[in-house]
């Protein structure tokens, strides 16, 4: 990947190094900002593109997410979750806010994806591993639950909008969302254990 930095966006970071990286970013350390961008720039941009539907909006969102991360960085606590979760939550919240704000102009009807640059092999392997994890996590869900999550998480539909569109009671939508997230959480917990075991194996 063309990042021009000595950090490589590979392998999990320990909670300590994640916090260290955030601290350096808060201090304005350029190398740390580049390292964070190398790891999370593409996923943040991808999520922005998925939710907002235009490259310009996704680029603007990415810049704002990193700026917000810098602003909130001193409050980042690794005990409360991984850095990826923290950053992707910031990104998702900001994108949903923009969707809500721009509600009058409508949301994109077509999702835009492209593959203009070929990522490096390691990069691809990393992302394939991530995608495989996400695919397996989604396989835990029923088709109805997958569609529900896609609408809520990637399209920002509220429970009420889903209920009205599908003609089902609001309470049912809320229950189904909750069930889907609990399934996802269980998968995540099991997956985290597997990763932790693998990491331990490597350390030994």
Partner 1 sequence: MTCGQVRERLSEHALGLLSEGEASAIERHLEWCGGCRKEFGELQEGLAALAMGLPPASPPASLEARVVARVTTAAGRRPATVSPRRRGRAVAGMALAAVLTAVLAVGWAVAEHRRAGNAEARMVGFETQLKSLQALVDQFGGRQAPLRPRAGAAAGSGFAVLIHLEDQPDMAIVEVLLPNESEMPYTVRLRDDQGQTRLSFQLEPTNNGTLALLYRTDRDLRHVVRVQVLDGADVEVLSGDVQPLASPR
Q: For residue 11, state whether it binds partner 1 (rule: CB under 8 A).
A: no
Of 7-15, 113-121, 196-204: span binding partner 1 (CB under 8 A): 113-121
Q: For residue 74, state whether it binds partner 1 (rule: CB under 8 A).
A: no
Q: In this chain, which of 13, 22, 57, 184 binds partner 1, going by CB under 8 A?
A: 184
Of 13-21, 99-107, 196-204: span binding partner 1 (CB under 8 A): 99-107
CA distance 58 to 28: 23
CA distance 31 to 33: 5
Between 168 and 204, CB nearer to partner 1: 168
CB 14 within 8 A of CB 201: no
Q: For residue 72, state whether it binds partner 1 (rule: CB under 8 A).
A: no
CA distance 62 to 95: 10
Q: In this chain, which of 74, 167, 202, 203 binds partner 1, going by CB under 8 A?
A: 167
Taking alpha carbons only, the member of 67, 79, 60, 72 closest to residue 33 is: 67
Q: For residue 76, state whether it binds partner 1 (rule: CB under 8 A).
A: no
Q: In this chain, which of 21, 49, 57, 76 binds partner 1, going by CB under 8 A?
A: 49
Q: How far is residue 182 from each of residues 146, 176, 197, measured CA to CA in Å?
A: 13, 10, 23
Of 6-14, 15-23, 140-148, 196-204: span binding partner 1 (CB under 8 A): 140-148
Q: For residue 106, state whether it binds partner 1 (rule: CB under 8 A).
A: yes
List of residues 6+ apart from 78 with CB closer than 8 A: 15, 16, 18, 19
Burial class (CB in 10 A: 0-12, 13-18, 19+), 143: exposed
Between 17 and 171, CB nearer to partner 1: 171
Count of residues making up the chain: 204
Q: In this chain, which of 11, 16, 101, 117 binds partner 1, going by CB under 8 A?
A: 117
Q: In this chain, which of 122, 188, 196, 198 binds partner 1, going by CB under 8 A?
A: 188
Q: For residue 35, state whether it binds partner 1 (rule: CB under 8 A).
A: no
């Amino acid at each position: 990947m063309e990042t021009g930095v000595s950090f490589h966006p590979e392998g999990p970071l320990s909670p300590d190094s994640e916090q260290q990286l955030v601290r350096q970013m808060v201090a304005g350390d350029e190398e740390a900002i580049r390292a964070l961008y190398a790891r999370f720039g593409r996923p943040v941009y991808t999520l922005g593109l998925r939710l907002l539907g235009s490259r310009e909006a996704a680029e603007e969102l990415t810049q704002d997410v990193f700026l917000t991360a810098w602003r909130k960085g001193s409050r980042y606590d690794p005990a409360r979750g991984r850095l990826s979760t923290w950053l992707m939550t910031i990104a998702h919240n900001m994108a949903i806010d923009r969707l809500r704000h721009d509600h009058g102009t409508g949301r994109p009807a077509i999702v835009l994806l492209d593959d203009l640059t070929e990522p490096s092999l390691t990069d691809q392997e990393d992302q394939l591993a991530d995608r495989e994890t996400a695919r397996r996590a989604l396989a835990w869900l029923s088709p109805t639950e997958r569609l529900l999550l896609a609408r809520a998480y990637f399209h920002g539909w509220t429970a009420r909008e889903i209920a009205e569109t599908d003609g089902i009671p609001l309470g049912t939508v809320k229950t189904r969302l909750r069930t889907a997230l609990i399934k996802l959480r269980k998968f995540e917990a099991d997956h985290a254990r597997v990763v932790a075991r693998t990491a331990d194996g490597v350390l030994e």
